[in-house]
Amino acid sequence: MEIIFATHNKNKLKEVQIMMPENIKLLSLDDIGMHEDIPETSTTISGNAAQKVQFIRQRYDLPVFADDTGLEVFALNNEPGVYSARYAGEHKSSEDNMKLLLKNLEDKRDRSARFVTVFALDMDRCQTLFEGVCDGVITKSYQGDKGFGYDPIFMPNGYEKTFAQMSLVEKGEISHRGIALKKLIAYLT
C-alpha cells in the first residue's frame, strides 16, 4: 500500500518510517512534488492535522495522513500548544523556540509538560483521528543531540534522559507521536 505522509520534515519522516510495516510505502510531500504551503490555521492540534489531510486529499487521489503536534507547558497555561513550531515567531528556529520557553520558565517551579500529537488519516474519503500523549518535564538546559524541535529539553516521566538522548526506536516506543502512530498502524493493518 502507498500512502502519503503530509510532511517535508525529514526527521519526522524518518521517525515514522522506522515504525511502519514493510508493506506500507510512505510518500513524503517531496516525493509527490508538493511544494505549496499547507494551511495550519486551526486553533487546535486535531484541527490542524485534519486541515492538512483535506488540503492534500483535494489535490491527490491517494490515501493520506498528516500530524500536528504541540507541547503544552502547564505553568504557562499550556503554551506553546498549537503554536509550538512558531512559538518564538513565524520565521524562528527550534533553537529560538527552546530559548524562549526556557526563559519563560525561569521563575516557575512547576516544569511539568506534555506533548500531544494527533494524526489525521483519510482513506477512501473518510477521515479518522488518532491521538498520542506523552507526559514529562522541561529540563533547565539542553541535553542530547538527537531528535528535533523541543527534544533536547523534554524529559518524559519515568526516564532520566531527554528525547534528544534517546535512539529513534526508544523514543518511538514512548513518544506522543509513537503512541498515535501505533494506533494509526493498527487501524491500517
75-108: b (≥16 Cβ within 10 Å) or e: bbeebbbbebbebbeeeeebeebbbbbbebbeee
Cβ-based neighbours of 180, under 8 Å, separated by 6 or more = 67, 117, 118, 119, 130, 131, 132
**68 catalytically annotated:** yes
Position 128, amino acid: T
Grid cell listed for 71: 507541547
Are 112 and 137 within 8 A, CB to CB?
Answer: yes
- According to DSSP, the residues that pair with 14 across neighbouring strands are none
Alpha carbon distance 42, 54 (integer Å): 13
Alpha carbon distance 119, 15 (integer Å): 14
Catalytic residue (choose from 68, 107, 145, 151): 68
Alpha carbon distance 49, 46 (integer Å): 5
Active site positions, annotated: 68
